Structure 1
Amino acid sequence: MALRNPISHVCKHALSSSSSRASAVSHFVCSRQSMPRRRAMATVVPPVTQDATSSKGPTAMVFMNMGGPSTTDEVGDFLSRLFADADLIPLGRLQSYLGPLISRRRTPKIQKQYAAIGGGSPIRKWSEYQSSEMCKILDQISPETAPHKPYVAFRYANPLTEDMYAQLLKDGFGGGKGGRAVAFTQYPQYSCSTTGSSLNELWKWRTRLEGKGSNTDPSGSITWSVIDRWPVHPGLVEAFAQNIEAQLATYTPETRKDVVLLFSAHSLPMSVVNRGDTYPAEVAATVYNVMQRLKFSNPYRLCWQSQVGPSAWLGAQTSDTVQEYVKKGQTDLVLIPIAFTSDHIETLYELDQEVIHEAGHPGVKRAESLNGNRVFIEALADIAFKHLQSGESCSRQMGLRCQGCKSERCLESKRFFVGQENLLAVR
């Protein structure tokens, strides 16, 4: 079922200026936080073309994420791409040999895991739904950049970045016609292994499909900007906080205040952390802001999940943390997937069917994922609206490389996206 139009109660004259539109966005996030959430399936959105009329539109809004196989048959290709990506899993000079070897050996096991959660990842369904609903809001609050066309680009699963870019060109963006696109990372906290890898892939396909071009001569190619991180946005924080409060309400009033909140995020190899990656600090910032919103009502810890391989990874591991607390008699625990914007294998299988099941205690539970959370979707619209109004091509942070970065591809990618601000200024 489609969700009710979230802005039907806002007067049209409230959209007549930038200041009033910004107030309207804030009003959506604040006024609807207490409304009940309903699940909905992705809707089909008709394509837009460059002959659509508005002062600065149309605008392509590209949701970027790791992605996941939608069927068990796609698992092998998904793992092959994942283990071939040195930005995510650095295997050194033997990457081209070890990557395929590891992916082949893990495919049968991972296929069973996806079969156990329904035969595939729901991340595509939720990504398409979230982007579509966000664009509906943007069409109302930012008419000068409308219509807003939702796209999804996954790093390791369909729809792949190159397929998304080909669809952009087919829909009339670029290819001599110009147009604007926003790469909106769905990793709220920046990491070179996630956001960085996705943007490097986008830059690669931009170069292949539209040429190297120039940041001073648009020559009819797409003008890109990037929303590269948003770890402490108030709407993101509010959505997490409401989901935590809903799970805490399932405990008795006598035990509720002693429930331990375990925020869980995907781990990183320590080689990436020691290089200077900002991800651990940004995840911690999200956690602290959520706890501030909750008025530090409960004890809490941050832990890390999904370690792969024998090398050192950032810890403490989520599975070990839960087991140790249960052994010590702390059996009321709420797991919160703090770095994910929807359900996928790490929540539905790793947390629900491994960590919680192995804990063997009914007091160990998980907060609901963001999925179709209306507060979250309105937060996405607010982030996108402010980005479109800012005239910036990316954050100031994105232009600064990690202290130990040696990647020339990363350098060229960052130069490209930072330099796109020259083109935004003349749009």
Structure 2
Amino acid sequence: PFLFNLFSDPDIFKLPFGEKGQELFAGLISKYRAPKSAILYEEIGGSSPLHPNTLDQAAALQKKLREVDDFQVHVAQRYWHPLIPEVIEKLSHETFDKIVLLPLFPQYSNTTTLSVINEWVRHGEGLIAPIIIQRFHQHPKYIEACRERIKEKLDQVSGKPHLLFSAHSIPQSRVKQGDPYQDEIEETVELILEDFHGYGHSLCYQSKVGPTKWLEPNIKDELKELKHRGIKNLLVFPVAFVSEHLETLHELDIKYRKVAEELGFNQFIRVNTVQTHPLFIDCLKELVLENCQ
């Protein structure tokens, strides 16, 4: 199950109990959280669009790359099918000149990008070593795709809204150990804002799990602070995500929209993720071609 695979990942949850202890932890937590997660998925239509979104991105990227050469684009997922080992097995029966590993995380983190790389290394020794693209948080076309997504929603907001950037949080301990994620999130936000002079803006974090300290401010505290400052209209952009999933469709669209309404905001409008925006697909195409030279 997805939750068991997620909580079994030592790159996210580093526990001092060894592999068996990690599996026990994952089993207990996933069993506890599964019923709650099922309710959340039911509230967004019964399933996550993450996999369909990713398939659409892969198809769009393959179409672009085949204008240049005979590329094949495969989707591999870290915690649910098609899992990375399953895709590696499939690729082992085919012949390629090069393999490019492109994690769809704009900002590098040991909890995301490195987890993908480590999983590939564990299972991919029979294949040629992949070319690894580790980040694209500053790529001009990715940044412009983000800006255009924000502009698509501007006319739905009364007046000039406050731009609230929300990113998936990670444990503060990881940042103290040198994880560049927070710095890269802030760099992405700064680049996007170059096209939005005069707009109020702030950055917050969401999706914290467990009792340890994670990056702050969390979104709920930031909403309270903005309300205290007299902000009335919010445009919320999920800056670390490139697809729609539970964190956008439920956590932002339902849970924190309700919090914003209860606090008395006039508007809480959420910006779409980049998904298959043409500029984002062009970004991915350029990353692949530049790294294949």
Distance 1:222 1:95 in 2: 30
Asked if the contact 1:264–1:305 (Cα under 8 Å) also holds between the matched residues in 2, the reply is yes
- Report the equivalent of 2:251: 350
**Which SS does the other structure have where 2:72 is aligned?**
strand
- Report the equivalent of 1:231: 137
- Report the equivalent of 1:271: 173
2:3 pairs with 79, 94, 97, which one? 79
Q: How big is the shift at 1:362?
A: 4.1
Distance 2:221 2:34 in 1: 25
**Which SS does the other structure have where 2:23 is aligned?**
helix
Deviations 1:108-162 (A, max 9, x none): 001111111111111111111111211211121x3xxx21111111111111001
Counterpart residue type for residue 158 of structure 1: H
Counterpart residue type for residue 193 of structure 1: T
**Which SS does the other structure have where 2:38 is aligned?**
helix
Q: How big is the shift at 1:99?
A: 2.2
The answer as to 2:216 corresponding to 1:326 is no
Deviations 1:162-193 (A, max 9, x none): 111111123x13xxxx6311001100100011
1:316 pairs with 189, 214, 217, which one? 217
Counterpart residue type for residue 231 of structure 1: H
Q: How big is the shift at 1:326?
A: 2.6
**Which SS does the other structure have where 1:350 is aligned?**
helix
The answer as to 2:149 corresponding to 1:247 is no
1:369 pairs with 252, 257, 273, which one? 273
Asked if the contact 2:157–2:269 (Cα under 8 Å) also holds between the matched residues in 1, the reply is no
Question: Equivalences for 1:25-424 in 2 at 5 Å?
Answer: 77-93=1-17, 94-140=21-67, 142=68, 146-170=69-93, 172-173=94-95, 179-207=97-125, 210=126, 221-252=127-158, 255-256=159-160, 259-294=161-196, 296-360=197-261, 361-389=265-293
CA RMSD of aligned residues (A): 1.5
Counterpart residue type for residue 348 of structure 1: L
> Unpaired segments of 5 or more residues in structure 1?
1-76, 211-220, 390-427
Q: How big is the shift at 1:261?
A: 0.8
Counterpart residue type for residue 38 of structure 2: Q
Counterpart residue type for residue 165 of structure 1: I
Distance 1:236 1:371 in 2: 11
**Which SS does the other structure have where 1:89 is aligned?**
coil
Q: How big is the shift at 1:107?
A: 0.5
Counterpart residue type for residue 146 of structure 2: F
Counterpart residue type for residue 101 of structure 1: L
Deviations 1:213-250 (A, max 9, x none): xxxxxxxx424101111111111111110111121221
Distance 1:301 1:149 in 2: 40
Asked if the contact 1:343–1:369 (Cα under 8 Å) also holds between the matched residues in 2, the reply is yes
Q: How big is the shift at 1:86?
A: 1.6
Asked if the contact 2:105–2:241 (Cα under 8 Å) also holds between the matched residues in 1, the reply is yes
Asked if the contact 1:291–1:297 (Cα under 8 Å) also holds between the matched residues in 2, the reply is no
Q: How big is the shift at 1:327?
A: 4.4
Deviations 1:349-391 (A, max 9, x none): 00001001221144111111112212211221122222222xx
Q: How big is the shift at 1:205?
A: 0.5
Asked if the contact 2:169–2:208 (Cα under 8 Å) also holds between the matched residues in 1, the reply is yes
Counterpart residue type for residue 205 of structure 2: W
- How many residues align? The count is 287
Q: How big is the shift at 1:329?
A: 2.9
Deviations 1:392-418 (A, max 9, x none): xxxxxxxxxxxxxxxxxxxxxxxxxxx
**Which SS does the other structure have where 1:263 is aligned?**
strand
